[in-house]
Every structure is written in structure tokens, then in C-alpha cells.
């Protein structure tokens, strides 16, 4: 997770009962850190700590809002919500500590997140809607609605954990971020009061972005359009949206499981430039080999192809390594039943093997090409490629 966050004196920074490990770019008002809660007898707890200094405090009302929101969010206890763990003040700075989620945000997926297989996108939407439904309906011990709205829902606030969990972060700390225009509900733009349906609107926008122009069930497009209706009274509640998405998810060819989400999170490219891309490609292929649904496999194949393309452009790339990686990709394409897509990659790999005089790899790629064509019901072409494979072996 990176090294210590060092102060100007060359020592780890201790803030109250926390040791700051590294700063993260996740706060528009104040600053945010990955930190460790320090307790007795070696107790340690990793958290995300957001603090806001005196210069960011915009009067008494803002201070009261920070305190009130954190106290209300502390009432939330749900598997799909990153919990608020602590609220305090150190040296005149308020801070809120929240659960640290090991994994990556939906935003970090980059291009892949903009056109996910629809079952994966719907599964994510179900999990987020479940979190919103719980938060919007949470009651205090006296039975009163807590009335907690996220207000800042975006792909950057949806975490995919390495264990396959989907968690919404940011409940209790909406003050930390400026509101992104693309996820702002029309009623908020009009300056009108907002309720939980503003979060439903934001989730609708996120789902639309995740699906892109992909072919999806017609009912799914209709549900998303309804969630994004200009008038909040025409939108479903988060609970209603979650039920509708669950019904659509049941029509998928195969169920989506937490392992698919963990694998999707694992496809995020490392930020550490010293990590060789070939090892990253291997790790992606290792992860993809464990996937259980065709949709998740397809998303993984897209990410692997991007990594291999970037490796091909680098003069330092070992071509023998490329051949091995292309072999693994070809076998993955066969398992995913993506014949049409895989044939182009195997043709490129064949050109590489042929140019290097590697007949054993040329025969292998001809065989993989033939098997992919057979999956695509192109039997005559498949037979030609399998015969070509035999010629390389003779």
C-alpha cells in the first residue's frame, strides 16, 4: 500500500491516535490519507482519514454539518457501505475516519468500466442500490428516519474489493468533495430540496456509463432511463430500483458471483511503473483463468489485450515472452467462446511466430485459430487453419 507518509522532519506523521501512511487524492476540502489507528499491545487498524483544517471551515454551519453528517452515518452498518469509525478534532482540525477497502474504485477501471458486460454492471448496480436503500430507510433508536443521503455518488465512490465485495464509500463525508456536474440530479441543479432519489439519479448515470453502447436487455435500458428521469417523483426509490435490477439479473446466462468482482478489481493496471508489464499480464491471465462467467471473462480479455498491445509497442519487449502470453490469451478466448474476437489476436501472434522462425508456436497459433473459427461456425476456414498447423509440424 505504499510507504510511510513522512513529515518535513523526516519522521512518520502522527495525527492524534493515527499514523498517516500515505496521502490519497480523494478530498476537495481538506486532505485525505490512508492511516493506521494505533492502539495498545500492538493493535493496528487501517482506515481512511479525512481531515479539514480551519481554512476550509466555512463558518459555524459547516462545522455543524461535518459533525452531524458523521454522527448520522455512524448509525449505518451494512455490508455494502464503508463504515464511519471515528470523528474528532486534533490541533483545530476536524477529522472523520472511515473503513479502508482493499481494492479499486469503479472509476479506476478506466476504459473497461465504460462498457462492462451487462450482467456485471447490473450486479454492481444491485449492490449499490441495496446500500442506498438501507441508508435512505435507516431509523434511529427512537424510530425516526435518519434521512441520510449520499449526495456525492460517483464511480470513484464505488469500491470493488479484492474479496469481491461492492462497497459505497463517502457516507458521512459528503463535505469532502465538490459535486460532479455529470452526476448531479436535475432538482439539485435547479436549487430544489433533494432526497434519496437524487442518489438514484446518480446511480442511473453510472449504470449508463458502464454499459456504453453494448447490447443489453431492453428492459434494462428502460429501468435506467426511469432512474434518470428529470423529475424525482417519476423515479423509483433505491429499494424499487434494486428489485428491478435483481429481476433483470436473473435473466443472465450465468449468475455473477463475488469472484467475478474480485477478478474485475484485479484488472486495474498497477500505478508502480517499476512493475514489469509482463508480470502484470501474467497476473491478469491467472485471475481470468479463475472466472466463472462469460461476461467477466470477456471484460478480462479486453484488459489483457490492452496490456499486450502496449507491450508490443515497446522495443525492449521480449518477443518470446509475447508468444507465451499470446498462447495463454488464445486458450482463454477458447474457454470464453469468443471465436470471432480471438481469431484476430491469433493471426497477429502467428505473424510474430512466423517472423521469428518459431515453427512450434506457429503451429500452436494455427491450431488455436482453427479452434476459434470452429466455435464461430466457420468450419471450412477452421479446417484450413488446422491443416496449416500440420504443415508447420512436418
Q: Could you report the per-residue pLDDT of 243-287, keeping only the tens digit for each? A: 999 999 999 888 888 888 887 787 665 554 444 545 556 666 776
Percent of the chain clearing pLDDT 70 (strictly above): 78
Residue 314: per-residue pLDDT: 55
Lowest mean pLDDT among 140-149, 159-168, 228-237, 339-348: 339-348
Residue 112: per-residue pLDDT: 44
277, 285 Cβ separation under 8 angstroms: no
- Closest residue by Cα to residue 56 from 97, 93, 26, 15: 93
Residue 175: per-residue pLDDT: 75
Written as one string, the DSSP assignment of 61-91 is HHHHHHHHHHHHHTT---TTBPPEEEEEEET
Residue 11: per-residue pLDDT: 61
Res 223 pLDDT > 60: yes
Lowest mean pLDDT among 90-94, 248-252, 341-345: 341-345
Mean pLDDT of 380-390: 86
More confident of the two residues 81 and 104: 81
Mean pLDDT of 72-88: 94
More confident of the two residues 319 and 270: 319
Mean pLDDT of 367-385: 83
Res 322 pLDDT > 90: no
Residue 353: per-residue pLDDT: 77
165, 258 Cβ separation under 8 angstroms: yes
Mean pLDDT of 166-172: 93
354, 362 Cβ separation under 8 angstroms: yes
Mean pLDDT of the chain: 81
Residue 6: per-residue pLDDT: 46
The owner of cell 433483470 is 248
Res 350 pLDDT > 50: yes
Lowest mean pLDDT among 140-149, 301-310, 341-350, 373-382: 301-310
Residue 54: per-residue pLDDT: 57
C-alpha cell at 380: 471450412
Q: Which residues contact 181 (CB under 8 A, 6 or more apart)?
A: none
Q: How far apart are CA 36 and CA 254, in angstroms?
A: 40
Mean pLDDT of 326-347: 75
Residue 356: per-residue pLDDT: 66
Residue 339: per-residue pLDDT: 64
pLDDT interval class at 180 (50, 70, 90): low
Lowest mean pLDDT among 136-140, 197-201, 296-300: 296-300
309, 326 Cβ separation under 8 angstroms: no
364, 329 Cβ separation under 8 angstroms: no
In order of their start, the domains of the chain are: 14-99 (3.30.200.20), 103-249 (1.10.510.10), 269-393 (1.25.40.10)
Q: How many CB atoms lie within 10 A of CB 250?
A: 9
Residue 249: in which H helix or E strand, if any? helix 238-249
Whole-prediction pTM: 0.70
Residue 227: per-residue pLDDT: 98
Edge-to-edge strand list for the sheet holding 31-38? 14-15, 18-24, 31-38, 44-52, 93-99, 84-90
Edge-to-edge strand list for the sheet holding 103-105? 103-105, 158-161, 166-168
pLDDT digits over 35-48, tens only?
999 888 889 999 99
Amino acid at each position: 500500500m505504499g510507504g510511510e507518509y513522512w513529515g518535513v522532519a523526516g519522521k512518520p506523521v502522527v495525527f492524534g491516535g493515527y499514523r498517516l501512511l500515505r496521502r490519497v487524492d480523494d478530498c476537495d476540502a481538506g486532505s485525505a490519507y490512508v492511516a493506521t489507528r494505533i492502539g495498545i499491545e500492538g493493535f493496528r487498524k487501517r482506515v481512511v482519514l479525512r481531515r479539514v483544517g480551519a481554512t476550509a471551515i466555512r463558518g459555524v454551519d459547516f462545522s455543524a454539518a461535518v459533525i452531524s453528517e458523521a454522527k448520522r452515518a455512524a448509525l449505518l452498518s451494512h455490508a455494502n457501505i464503508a463504515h464511519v469509525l471515528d470523528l474528532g478534532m486534533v490541533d483545530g482540525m476536524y477529522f472523520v475516519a472511515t473503513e479502508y477497502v482493499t481494492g479499486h474504485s469503479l472509476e479506476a477501471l478506466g476504459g473497461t468500466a465504460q462498457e462492462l458486460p451487462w450482467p456485471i454492471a447490473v450486479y454492481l448496480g444491485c449492490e449499490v442500490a441495496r446500500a442506498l436503500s438501507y441508508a435512505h430507510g435507516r431509523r434511529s433508536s427512537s424510530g425516526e428516519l435518519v434521512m441520510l443521503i449520499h449526495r456525492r455518488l460517483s464511480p470513484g465512490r464505488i469500491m470493488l474489493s479484492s474479496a469481491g465485495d461492492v462497497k459505497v464509500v463517502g457516507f458521512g463525508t459528503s463535505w469532502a468533495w465538490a459535486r460532479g456536474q455529470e452526476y448531479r440530479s436535475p432538482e439539485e441543479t435547479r436549487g430544489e430540496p433533494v432526497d434519496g432519489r437524487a442518489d438514484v439519479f446518480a446511480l442511473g448515470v453510472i449504470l449508463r456509463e458502464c454499459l456504453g453502447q453494448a447490447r443489453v436487455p431492453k428492459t434494462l435500458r428502460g429501468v435506467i432511463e426511469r432512474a434518470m428521469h428529470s423529475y424525482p417523483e417519476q423515479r423509483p426509490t433505491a429499494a424499487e430500483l434494486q428489485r428491478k435490477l435483481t429481476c433483470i439479473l436473473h435473466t443472465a446466462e450465468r449468475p455473477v458471483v463475488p469472484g467475478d468482482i474480485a477478478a474485475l478489481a484485479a484488472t486495474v493496471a498497477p500505478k508502480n511503473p517499476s512493475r514489469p508489464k509482463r508480470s502484470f499480464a501474467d497476473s491478469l491471465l491467472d485471475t481470468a483463468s479463475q472466472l466463472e462467467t462469460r461476461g467477466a471473462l470477456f471484460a478480462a480479455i479486453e484488459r489483457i489485450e490492452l496490456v499486450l498491445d502496449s507491450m508490443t509497442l515497446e522495443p525492449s519487449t521480449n518477443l518470446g515472452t509475447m508468444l507465451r502470453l499470446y498462447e495463454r490469451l488464445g486458450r482463454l478466448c477458447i474457454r470464453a467462446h469468443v471465436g470471432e474476437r480471438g481469431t484476430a489476436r491469433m493471426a497477429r501472434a502467428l505473424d510474430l511466430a512466423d517472423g521469428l522462425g518459431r515453427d512450434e508456436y506457429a503451429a500452436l497459433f494455427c491450431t488455436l485459430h482453427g479452434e476459434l473459427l470452429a466455435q464461430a461456425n466457420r468450419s471450412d476456414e477452421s479446417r484450413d487453419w488446422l491443416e496449416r498447423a500440420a504443415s508447420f509440424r512436418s
